[in-house]
Structure 1
Amino acid sequence: MTKIAILLSCLLLLLVGCQTQTKSPANPQVQVKVAQVVSGQTLEVFGMGDQSNLISQVRLLGIDAPDLQQRPWGSAAKERLQALIEEQPVILEFDVEGKDKFGRILAYVWKDKVLLNEQLVKEGQALFVGRSPNHKYDQRLERAQQWARLMGLGIWNPEKPMRLTPAEFRRQNR
């Protein structure tokens, strides 16, 4: 009985060891070249997957930027994101859910060790909007929004505040 127990234990250890090796996560970051900034929350990038010349849409996680028709905030958010990127490569970092319902890649975007999602919120160019199950940087984004609100930056400017959230604006203007 002990030989069988030892043999089963070894087999179990072997199976568990193989299982953990096959479940190792893929690289959660990738460097890409930005083809264009579509809006304050969406980019088109080269370099995703096997075909480096294929363009993919990327939606910045954790934020909701004003719609382009939501003037002047939508164009300001887009222009600021363009200025932050400066036609340089960026790093995309992924969370739990990889794509949204429109097929866009969901990512946190980094350039020169700056989380651009957070920077846009901190400057009042976008709202923090947590989206389950992607919560990796929710606390950072929430603090950035509190800062922008307290300082009256961008959409929080008391003299010219944004009256509707981007989601409310889109609902009213379909």
Structure 2
Amino acid sequence: MKTALSLAAIGVTILAVQFPSTAANFTAKVVSVGDGDTITIGYNGKKKTVRLACIDAPETRQKPWGQRSTAKLKGLLPGGQRVKIRQVTIDRYGRTVGEVYVGNRSINLAMVQAGEAVVYRQYLDACRDTKSLYLKAEQQAKKRRLGYWNQRNPIMPSTFRRQGRRSNSSPRRTQGTMSTQGYVAGTCKELRRMGLSRFTPGDPNYTRGRDRDNDGIACE
């Protein structure tokens, strides 16, 4: 079968997990893969974004790991692939959060097995029935240094995102900012507030922009 060949071709043996049949679950077709834990599906004539539950893939900015994770998921879920979705919830972004299955094989679990995603422990209860399989798969991938684990000090994707948010929320300060040449960024007014005032050519803090009357003395 085409599905079996596509999965075998990328060297991943996916554990079989019985797909739960409930009213909340549905069948769809893959439209595209966004990254290592997000896909777009076609369902009832509409496109829906699905966030793969219980796993967390490296961010795109975590190069090259994010790109490799995305490539792995594209290999597992080519466009047009029929999938079954075990819906867990709808997140704050309006995305369906769920486990994606090809037959009785969990693609979420396959990503962890391949080392291309980590177990998202904060939300692992969403996969309560297969929790032990996820943890065991990650342990084995880590032991074999597969994918994301093939680096000395891997930063968890959730940690990477938090660091990015803190960096983006930090106020941008020019006052007292030093360069490697000893230059202090800021206006003359800011420099005087720091107790810095007169600069002559040769001083790293002398610039023509601060010497408006062009007399060779800046910020006098």
Q: TM-score, normalised by structure 2?
A: 0.60
- 1:125 CA displacement: 0.3
- 1:32 CA displacement: 0.6
Match of 1:18 in 2: none
Aligned partners of 1:121 and 1:128 also within 8 Å: yes
- 1:74 CA displacement: 0.5
Whole-Å separation in 1 of the counterparts to 2:91 and 2:136: 24
Q: 2:162 aligns with which of 153, 165, 171?
A: 171
- The DSSP-based 3-state class of the residue aligned with 1:138 is helix
Aligned partners of 2:86 and 2:100 also within 8 Å: yes
Choose between structure 1 and 2 for higher RCO, CA contacts under 8 A separated by at least 6 residues.
1
1:119–1:132 Cα change, 3 Å: closer
- The DSSP-based 3-state class of the residue aligned with 2:90 is coil
- 1:173 CA displacement: 2.1
Matched, 1:153 2:146: yes
Identical columns (%): 29
1:121–1:162 Cα change, 3 Å: farther
Q: 1:56 aligns with which of 48, 59, 62?
A: 48
- 1:86 CA displacement: 2.2
What one-letter code is carried by the residue in structure 1 that aligns with 2:145?
Answer: G
What one-letter code is carried by the residue in structure 2 that aligns with 1:72?
Answer: P
- 1:29 CA displacement: 2.2
Per-residue CA distance 1:72-96 (angstroms, 9 max, x = gap): 110111110010012211110123x
Match of 2:35 in 1: 39
Matched, 1:29 2:25: yes
Give me the CA root mean square deviation. Answer: 1.8
- 1:101 CA displacement: 2.0
Match of 1:6 in 2: none
Aligned partners of 1:155 and 1:162 also within 8 Å: no
Aligned partners of 1:73 and 1:162 also within 8 Å: no
Residues matched between the structures, number:
142
Match of 1:85 in 2: 77
Match of 1:100 in 2: 91
Matched, 1:121 2:112: yes
What one-letter code is carried by the residue in structure 1 that aligns with 2:106?
Answer: L
List alignment gaps of at least 5 residues for structure 2: 1-20, 166-220
Aligned partners of 1:34 and 1:45 also within 8 Å: yes
Select the structure that is richer in helix. 1
Whole-Å separation in 2 of the counterparts to 1:26 and 1:142: 25
1:110–1:26 Cα change, 3 Å: closer
- 1:169 CA displacement: 1.0
Aligned partners of 1:155 and 1:161 also within 8 Å: no
Match of 1:14 in 2: none
Whole-Å separation in 2 of the counterparts to 1:132 and 1:77: 20
Q: Which runs of 4+ in 1 moved over 4 A?
A: none
Match of 2:68 in 1: 76
Whole-Å separation in 1 of the counterparts to 2:157 and 2:126: 20
- The DSSP-based 3-state class of the residue aligned with 1:94 is strand
- 1:26 CA displacement: 5.0
- 1:133 CA displacement: 4.9
- The DSSP-based 3-state class of the residue aligned with 1:172 is helix
CA radius of gyration, larger in: 2
- 1:123 CA displacement: 0.7
